Amino acid sequence: MYTIFSCPKEFTSLFGIIQRNAINSWLNLNPTPNIILFGIEDDKIKKEFDNPKITFLPIKDFNEYKTPYINKIFEAAMLYSPTDTLCYVNSDIILFDDFFSTIKNLQKKKNYFGVGGR
């Protein structure tokens, strides 16, 4: 198994639709990953999705512009993930079923760090 984690923005306007589509694509992956969504106001994010595969965590460390510190997000994901394989994915990225085969190929390596691009 593996965990996808992300920091979605507010689910408003067109960007809200894009994020919903992306996160729903993650929920439709086979096998379904564990998902951790971080938010400053995690109650608003919880309203968007009602799924036991999604964990909602508050962002506690951010700057004066409400931008989260990415190192703190990664640390929290490592702490709360039920799996050893973690994937940070921007909340507007739609994933397809070939994503898991890529994860499986990486997991065959002893030590790995994968990076993808659009």
Distances in Å between the Cα of 13 and the Cα atoms of 10, 18, 93 are 9, 9, 17
Fold of 3-107: Spore Coat Polysaccharide Biosynthesis Protein SpsA; Chain A (3.90.550)
CA 114, distance to chain mean position in Å, is 15
- The residue among 54 and 118 whose pLDDT is bigger is 54
**Could you read off the pLDDT of 92-118 as tens digits, one per residue?**
999 999 999 999 999 998 888 888 876
Residue 37 has pLDDT above 90, yes or no: yes
**Helix, strand or coil, per DSSP, at residue 81:** coil
* Extents of the domains making up the chain: 3-107
Q: Of 21, 10, 5, whose CA–CA distance to 92 is shortest? A: 21
pTM: 0.91
Consecutive H or E run containing 107: helix 98-107
Torsion of CA 106, 107, 111, 117, to 10 degrees: 30
Q: Peptide bond before 33: cis, by omega within 30 degrees of 0?
A: no
